[in-house]
DNA sequence: CTGAAAGCGCTTACAG
DNA sequence: CTGAAAGCGCTTACAG
């Protein structure tokens, strides 16, 4: 596992290491002849410059981190399976990063302790920037990363304009409010007036904004907001299942809007157990448009988040900021789109 | 973005850089007092050693690569979505690597050209080892990586005992043969005798082994192998869809065994279009047990590959080999398990 | 256009 | 137990 170095290449090619370096790095003022001479030796000996050495000598690190909060999908009464909620996002991040010649270090956050390790890999120069998705709260270590001048993109993060951190980072959100609004408006157009909502985690931006959109649509239609029709969920299947059961013990909505598809799946299972037919007796809408949504029975009407687009924006802006070492502060909102399938019916 | 270095820490703590290094690296012969003195300065100034410098000075790289061949899932007549086939595997690889203090560089192979870039990141020391999954053929660059002494794990790769490469790498496979065998045996027990098979890519190990298992079960039951009942597929949904349509133009099987779940999903769509009821008029079995399988209507009976277990084995062996710089050659077969759901019926 | 030299931030024999 | 020095493999002003 010992590879040839630039010193050897220089000797064989009959030039100095400086010249080898200049050829490798495509400097302008190297005559064709010298260039070809060096390149042929490089080729012959399969020489690849040592990345760590290059970085020490002033080069840029070409790795960005993708930090995904692990959202477990507990399959009710069956096995526990890992979430693939972010797989679309991950794939896009990889593709986009590769375009720029960058690589992606994928990390799954399973406990608050992980932030310490993450801080380490920023500070020890393993990565030159990172994207965080699925955060539920502010973490002191993450703050230190941003304060330290490292480039960070956050997806689904509240904008607090007074905060100094916000002015130093890049934030991308789905348009949760208008997404929820369009879902509820659609239900109202179908004749529903008693519409329940199972929400996400309390301390997450997407949760509050989806509730906001829900309220806004009701208000516009002159429907009084009924607190008893809104229950707390947790973005996983189990939560959707139990919240649905709890809801229907006391209330009789004709439609339920779940804050994400995983909970809607749990809800569909609960409804089946209660022999309530979807969509004839209950209309159901989710949020996210995860891959499973279109395979459900009935196929789930849902709100599609612009995950793929968010990934592209995140990566291109992050890498540009890293390359130019430019200041880095912006806020994008990506549209959400209602996807109508078969889980809602006219009242 | 300028961080403090060991020289400064040494000066402030009133020791030499050597001592700082010894403390950081937990050398034995450092008295408590010196240790605490240094550590308090380290703490105070938030000092984190420069990883690239450590590696240049002889340290080990703590990143492994995970290279996944991108298997696109074309949703018949709908949008094209990225595959999340490997998301379970990826998650496990990350978790397992983190346990050892390692990180995962995730890479999606979308074209044969990608192997050149992959070779670069091995040779330039960006990663110290890698796991390949979903390979369809041997690649010259990959061979060079293995010949170069780099540690590589391959999942779903044929063992050719005469090959020198095989003796230098680590191979993990699902027990495809017995998995397919148990699926067909189950169908035969339900009374089926005319069982079709839609296979995977021709040049992939899992394809040939699954066909083998299919044949073996038929043979054991005294059913003559009928070449017309076996059609080539490609592991994606579209292929399952069109192979099913093609198959049923000429043949009248009572059961179809698909080489993976994605193709089975395509098959279910084709059968629905042909108004053939599953499982009453046609029994269907898949392979893989992807997350969607249990959400289909009817829930898909399938063969579960030991993906999670393969990931653990791959990572722990890879990292051990990297750490000990030991020779690295083995062959694991992980059992596959028939998961009975609702897509098969008695004849 | 090109080479000698300094420097990136560590670790680790070596000497004491 | 600890420091001075060499070295890891590059890049990049500097000088010519």
Q: Using CA atoms, how far apart are residues B325 and A221, in angstroms rounded to an integer?
A: 69
Looking at every residue in chain A, the average pLDDT score rounds to: 90
What integer is the mean pLDDT of B172-181? 95
Q: Which bases of strand D have any atom within 7 Å of the beta carbon of a protein residue?
A: 1-5, 7-13
Q: Using CA atoms, how far apart are residues B183 and B181, in angstroms rounded to an integer?
A: 5
Q: Using CA atoms, how far apart are residues B154 and A234, in angstroms rounded to an integer?
A: 38
Q: Using CA atoms, how far apart are residues B50 and A176, in angstroms rounded to an integer?
A: 41
Please give the pLDDT value at position B258: 98
Q: Which two tokens stand for residue A347?
A: 């009242």
Q: In this structure, is the CB of residue B7 within 7 Å of any atom belonging to strand C?
A: yes
Q: Using CA atoms, how far apart are residues A64 and A314, in angstroms rounded to an integer?
A: 11
Q: Is residue B237 very low, low, confident or very high in pLDDT (cuts 50, 70, 90)?
A: confident
For residue A70, what is the nearest residue in chain B, using CA coordinates? Answer: B91
Strands, E assignment, B261-318: 283-285, 302-304
| Binary contact (B81, A91; C-beta < 8 A) | no
Residues of chain A neighbouring B106 (CB-CB closer than 8 A): 66, 90, 94, 104-106
DSSP state, A300? Answer: P
Please give the pLDDT value at position B174: 92
DSSP state, A173? Answer: E
Q: Using CA atoms, how far apart are residues B50 and A57, in angstroms rounded to an integer?
A: 12
Residues of chain A neighbouring B87 (CB-CB closer than 8 A): 82, 84, 86-87, 90
B332, β-bridge pairs:
B172
pLDDT digits (tens, 9 = 90+) for B188-232: 999 999 999 999 988 788 899 999 999 999 999 999 999 999 999
For residue A129, what is the nearest residue in chain B, using CA coordinates? Answer: B1
Q: Using CA atoms, how far apart are residues B139 and B115, in angstroms rounded to an integer?
A: 7
How many angstroms separate the CA of B46 from the C1' of C10?
A: 17
| Phi, psi angles (nearest 5°) of residue B141 | -65, -40
pLDDT digits (tens, 9 = 90+) for A117-156: 999 999 999 999 999 998 777 788 998 999 888 999 999 8
Please give the pLDDT value at position A74: 34
pLDDT digits (tens, 9 = 90+) for B69-98: 876 543 333 333 335 567 778 989 999 999
Alpha carbon separation from B118 to B32, B78, B122, B139, B172 (Å, rounded): 45, 33, 7, 11, 20
Residues of chain B neighbouring A98 (CB-CB closer than 8 A): 107-108, 117
Quick check: B157 and B190 in contact, CB under 8 A?
A: no
Please give the pLDDT value at position B193: 97
Q: What is the pTM of this model?
A: 0.90
More confident residue, B71 or B106: B106
| Binary contact (B84, A291; C-beta < 8 A) | yes
How many A-B residue pairs are in contact by the CB < 8 A criterion?
A: 148
Quick check: B301 and B343 in contact, CB under 8 A?
A: yes
Strands, E assignment, chain A: 63-69, 73-74, 80-81, 103-109, 129-133, 151-155, 170-174, 195-198, 230-231, 255-258, 283-285, 302-304, 330-334, 337-339
Closest among A302, A322, A304 to A314, alpha carbons compared:
A322
DSSP state, A288? Answer: B
Helix-helix angle A32-45:A6-13, to 10 degrees: 120
Strands, E assignment, chain B: 63-69, 73-74, 80-81, 103-109, 129-133, 151-155, 170-174, 195-198, 230-231, 255-258, 283-285, 302-304, 330-334, 337-339
pLDDT (tens, 9 = 90+) of chain A, 347 residues, equals 678 999 999 999 999 999 999 999 999 889 999 999 999 999 999 999 999 999 999 888 999 999 998 765 433 333 333 355 677 789 899 999 999 999 999 999 988 889 999 999 999 999 999 999 987 777 889 989 998 889 999 998 877 766 777 778 899 999 999 999 999 999 999 999 999 999 998 878 889 999 999 999 999 999 999 999 999 998 888 889 999 999 999 999 999 999 999 899 999 999 999 999 999 999 999 999 987 888 888 999 999 998 889 999 999 999 999 988 887 788 899 999 999 999 999 98
**Closest CB to B106 among A70, A90, A124:** A90
Task: With H, G, I as helix, E, B as strand and everything else as coil, classify residue B314.
Answer: helix
Is the N-terminal amide bond of B298 cis, ω within 30° of 0?
yes
Q: Which two tokens stand for residue A171?
A: 């934030």
Alpha carbon separation from B289 to A188, A302, B313 (Å, rounded): 39, 25, 20
| Binary contact (A103, B105; C-beta < 8 A) | yes
Question: Which strands make up the sheet holding A255-258, listed edge to edge?
Answer: A230-231, A195-198, A255-258, A283-285
More confident residue, B234 or A153: A153
Task: With H, G, I as helix, E, B as strand and everything else as coil, classify residue B321.
Answer: helix
Sequence-ordered alpha helix ranges (H) in A79-204 = 87-99, 114-123, 140-147, 176-189
Instruction: Check residues 15 to 44 of chain A and report those whose beta carbon is under 7 Å from nucleic acid strand C.
Output: 15-19, 22, 29-31, 34
């Amino acid at each position: 596992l010992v590879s040839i170095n630039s010193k050897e290449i220089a000797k064989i090619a009959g030039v100095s290491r400086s010249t080898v370096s200049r050829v490798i790095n495509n400097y302008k003022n190297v005559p064709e002849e010298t260039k070809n001479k060096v390149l042929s030796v490089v080729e012959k000996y399969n020489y690849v410059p040592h990345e760590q050495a290059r970085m020490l000598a002033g080069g840029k690190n070409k790795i960005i981190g993708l930090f995904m909060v692990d959202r477990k999908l507990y399959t009710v009464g069956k096995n526990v399976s890992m979430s693939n909620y972010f797989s679309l996002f991950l794939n896009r991040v990889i593709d986009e990063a590769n375009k720029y010649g960058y690589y992606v270090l994928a990390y799954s956050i399973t406990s608050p302790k992980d932030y310490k390790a993450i801080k380490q890999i920023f500070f020890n120069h393993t990565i030159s920037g990172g994207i965080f998705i699925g955060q539920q709260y502010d973490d002191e270590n993450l703050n230190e990363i941003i304060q330290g001048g490292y480039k960070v993109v956050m997806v689904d993060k509240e904008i607090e304009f007074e905060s100094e951190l916000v002015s130093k980072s890049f934030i991308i959100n789905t348009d949760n409010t208008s997404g929820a609004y369009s879902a509820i408006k659609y239900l109202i157009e179908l004749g529903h007036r008693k519409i329940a909502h199972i929400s996400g985690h309390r301390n997450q931006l997407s949760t509050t904004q989806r509730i906001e959109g829900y309220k806004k649509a009701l208000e516009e239609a002159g429907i009084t907001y009924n607190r008893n029709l809104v229950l707390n969920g947790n973005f996983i299947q189990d939560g959707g299942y139990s919240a649905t059961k709890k809801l229907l013990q006391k209330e009789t909505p004709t439609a339920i809007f779940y804050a994400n598809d995983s909970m809607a799946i749990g809800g569909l299972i609960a409804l089946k157990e209660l022999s309530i037919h979807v969509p004839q007796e209950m209309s159901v809408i989710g949020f996210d448009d995860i891959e499973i949504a279109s395979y459900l029975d009935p196929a789930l009407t849902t709100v599609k988040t612009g995950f793929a687009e968010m990934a592209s924006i995140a990566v291109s802006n992050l890498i540009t900021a890293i390359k130019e070492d430019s200041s880095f502060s912006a806020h994008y909102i990506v549209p959400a789109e209602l996807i109508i399938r078969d889980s809602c019916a006219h009242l």
